[in-house]
Chains A and B, each alone.
Chain A
Amino acid sequence: AQSVTQLGSHVSVSEGALVLLRCNYSSSVPPYLFWYVQYPNQGLQLLLKYTTGATLVKGINGFEAEFKKSETSFHLTKPSAHMSDAAEYFCAVSGVGADKLIFGTGTRLQVFP
Chain B
Amino acid sequence: DAGITQSPRHKVTETGTPVTLRCHQTENHRYMYWYRQDPGHGLRLIHYSYGVKDTDKGEVSDGYSVSRSKTEDFLLTLESATSSQTSVYFCAISESRSRTDTQYFGPGTRLTVL
Contact = CB atoms under 8 A, between A and B. Distances in A.
A24 interface: no
Given A44-B90, A103-B42, A105-B40, A94 B100 contact: yes
Contacts of B25: none
B105 interface: yes
A12 interface: no
A45 B31 contact: no
Nearest to A34: B102
A100 interface: yes
A38 to B, nearest CB: 8
8 contacts: A32-B100, A41-B108, A46-B102, A98-B94, A99-B58, A101-B45, A103-B42, A103-B44
A11 to B, nearest CB: 16
A32 B105 contact: no
Query: Which residue, A32, A51, A96, A98, has most C-beta atoms of chain B within 10 A?
Result: A98
Interface residues of B, number: 29
A11 B46 CA distance: 29
A46 B94 CA distance: 12
Given A44-B90, A103-B44, 20 more contacts: A9-B40, A32-B99, A42-B108, A43-B90, A44-B43, A94-B99, A94-B100, A98-B94, A98-B97, A99-B45, A99-B48, A99-B50, A99-B56, A101-B33, A101-B45, A101-B103, A103-B42, A103-B43, A104-B42, A105-B42
B100 A49 contact: yes
A74 interface: no
